[in-house]
Amino acid sequence: MTINETSLTPRALEGVRVIDMADTSAVYATKILCDLGADVIRIERPQGDPMRSVQPIDEETGISAFHAYMNTNKRSVTIDLDTSDGADRFRKLVASADVVVESEVPGRLAALGLAYEDFAERQPGLVWASITPFGSTGPRREWLADDLISQAMGGFMTLSGLPEREPLKLFGEQSCFIAGLHAASGILIALWHSLGNGEGQHVDVSVHEAIAHTLESAIQVYTTEGRVRGRLPRSDEAGIGMFPATDGEIFVYANMNMITRSWFNLVKALKRAGIPGADDLDDPKWQDPTFRRTPEAREAATRIIGALTKDKSKYQNYNELQGANILSAPMSQIGDLFNNPQLKFLNWFVDQPIGEKQATWPGPAFRLSETPRRQPGPVRAAGADNEAVFAELG
């Protein structure tokens, strides 16, 4: 292994070399490893990585924001695996590596003599991760899938949206992040195992299985109760919903069911503020779930609660409502995240140079006290590190 043996390294994965051939459905895994300090060498086709054309494309620099975010600090080499020279270069790269991450169609690398089995005997400590739509084995191992297919087949969309409407797909490439997190976890576990006894292994990640892990208790409900969970109706109970603020809306969840105290705390807050009609909410009828779902109750509660929130900003409302133990949440637009005091305090956003510009990206959702994350560097051109990397390999 090439891992630094000292107990405390500048970064958590300092000295670990990763060969990265992940596609858009899996590249988040290698981003995590790179942020943790690994030397990630990304293999691109001679004509460049298709990920470089993924939208959005910056108009001034022509650089894909998706590619820049996912591949910051990675070194880039170009290899044509279908040529004998390219295959030789790939073998040399793998010989220098601790981890290989790929998302090729199962069987393609084996046909070229470049699969995990072709390296495992002479590199017993090698960790090799394959991230594919349906896994490396089974009847659907060669089937392809994008994010929409993964969310639908994994069952996630059966729980997303309103029951009277069509299922909804979550925005963006969510399967990339979900599968990437599972893959990074598996790789780190396998790497730890390899460090302990020198025994590497194949980490087989199915995006299909990763998405099926997002179903919360739906599978447990089905197996224990025989009941199929579906999309939930929009709440029609007084005290639950979106309410106006000076700069948008705030969501308030104050009902008489799961968290009863939130409703009583809300009534107290309305009365303290002298909101007209607040005293009427003390009537015992408001503790009757049937009444709370009537149009009369919903209209009255919406009017009274709205009078409390409409003249204050989302965050003024949020701070006051949370301070009064009332469940609530400001509905954040993307720009609101940059002004979020908690994210500012945590220094969550990071800056990365892109050409002559500077972009701002999300940071990791975790931080290590002794081995800090790597700060983003410039985007590397396709093959920019060919000479340096292959010189290292002799």
pLDDT of residue 3: 43
pTM value is 0.85
pLDDT of residue 2: 43
Q: How far apart are CA 241 and CA 96, in angstroms?
A: 57
Give residue 252's identity as a one-letter amino acid code.
Answer: V
Query: Considering only the top CATH level, what class is 240-331?
Result: alpha beta
CA distances from 38 to 6, 30, 98, 284, 305 (A): 15, 9, 10, 62, 52
Q: CA Rg, the chain, in Å?
A: 26
Give residue 120's identity as a one-letter amino acid code.
Answer: A
Q: Domain residues of the chain, as ranges?
A: 17-216+348-392, 240-331
Asked if the domains 17-216+348-392 and 240-331 are classified in one and the same CATH topology, the answer is: no
Residue with tokens 């109760």: 225
pLDDT of residue 391: 92
Give CATH for domain 17-216+348-392. Answer: 3.40.50.10540
pLDDT of residue 166: 86
Q: How far apart are CA 264 and CA 281, in angstroms?
A: 9
Residues comprising the chain, all counted: 394
φ, ψ for residue 248, nearest 5 deg: 145, -135
Per-run averaged pLDDT (10 residues), the chain, 394 residues: 45 93 92 94 93 90 92 95 95 97 95 95 96 90 86 81 82 87 96 94 93 82 81 78 94 76 90 93 88 92 95 94 92 89 89 87 84 86 92 87
Q: What is the DSSP letter of 292?
A: H
